[in-house]
Amino acid sequence: MTGQVALVTGGARGIGRAISERLVKRGMKVGVGYSSDPTSAENLQSEYGSDRITIHQGNIGARGDCERVFDEVINAHGRVDVLVNNAGITADKMLTKMEVDDWDRVVQVNLSGTFYMAHLAYLHMAERGSGRIVNISSVIGEQGNAGQVNYAATKSGLFGMTMSMAQEGSRKGVTVNCVAPGYIETDMVAAVPEKAIEKIVSGIPMKRLGRPDEVARVVEFLADPESEYITGQVYSVNGGLHM
């Protein structure tokens, strides 16, 4: 993987940060996407150096931002070998309280945003005859969750997107896979009410939250050039929560 280039959306915090760090430690150059506050991205860049990590602001829910960020990474590093579609948001509410805007925002970022980035990467990779796209879904996409109708729909949607892109990519040297994390120690999970988390953890066979790096190691494996015969798959990393 040395000398190859990755683009990781939401790559400065949580699972995305663990992924960026793993890929950079494998000798890759990493374009790290972030949406608003640059602090975490700047910290990551100063830790590894601006020759190995470049940082790129953009909202993946806006196609124009995706095009700009993709171009920035190409300009900085010359190509993109690996795209990790990690950025995502929640707007958890029971259906009785969910507004149309809660649905629209989550679908726009998690589903449309992932498509925009994957589409750009696919066109670039298919032309070059090689590439790896890894979409970060969720256990919620596998089993649903009360209070997350919007989020679950987007994360299930990524399975269909992944399988369809994988079928098209299989003759172009582009693999497309999903990783489906369970509940991982991130800001997103930290925002869940304490009581809800206790209930969730008691339902996880391993009785603990996952760590970001436990997800990142699977992404690293799928991003590896040697993983070329693996495509259209979902790799779950959830402590046994969903089997």
Query: Could you say whether residue 123 binds ligand CAA (CB under 6 A)?
Result: no
Residues 6+ apart with CB under 8 A from 39: none
Minimal CB distance to ligand CAA: which residue?
147
Out of 92, 142, 214, 220, point to the residue binding ligand CAA (CB under 6 A). 92
As a whole number of angstroms, the distance between CA 208 and CA 86 comes to: 22
Out of 128, 146, 203, 206, point to the residue binding ligand CAA (CB under 6 A). 146
Smallest separation (angstroms) from ligand CAA to the CB of 117:
18
DSSP state of 37: -
Closest to ligand CAA by CB, 31 vs 212, is 212
Smallest separation (angstroms) from ligand CAA to the CB of 58:
22
Query: Could you say whether residue 93 binds ligand CAA (CB under 6 A)?
Result: yes
| Paired tokens of 137 | 């879904």
Please check whether residue 76 is in contact with residue 84, taking contact to mean a CB–CB distance below 8 angstroms: no
| Location of structure tokens 């940060």 | 17
Out of 62, 74, 107, 192, point to the residue binding ligand CAA (CB under 6 A). 192
Q: Which stretch binds ligand CAA (CB under 6 A): 6-14, 23-31, 140-148, 216-224?
A: 140-148
Residue among 122, 151, 183, 235 flagged as catalytic: 151
Out of 34, 70, 159, 183, point to the residue binding ligand CAA (CB under 6 A). 183
Query: Could you say whether residue 159 binds ligand CAA (CB under 6 A)?
Result: no
For residue 149, give Cα distances in angstroms to 114, 145, 188, 216, 231. Answer: 18, 7, 16, 26, 27
Burial of 56 (0-12, 13-18, 19+ CB in 10 A): buried
**Residue positions annotated with a catalytic role:** 151
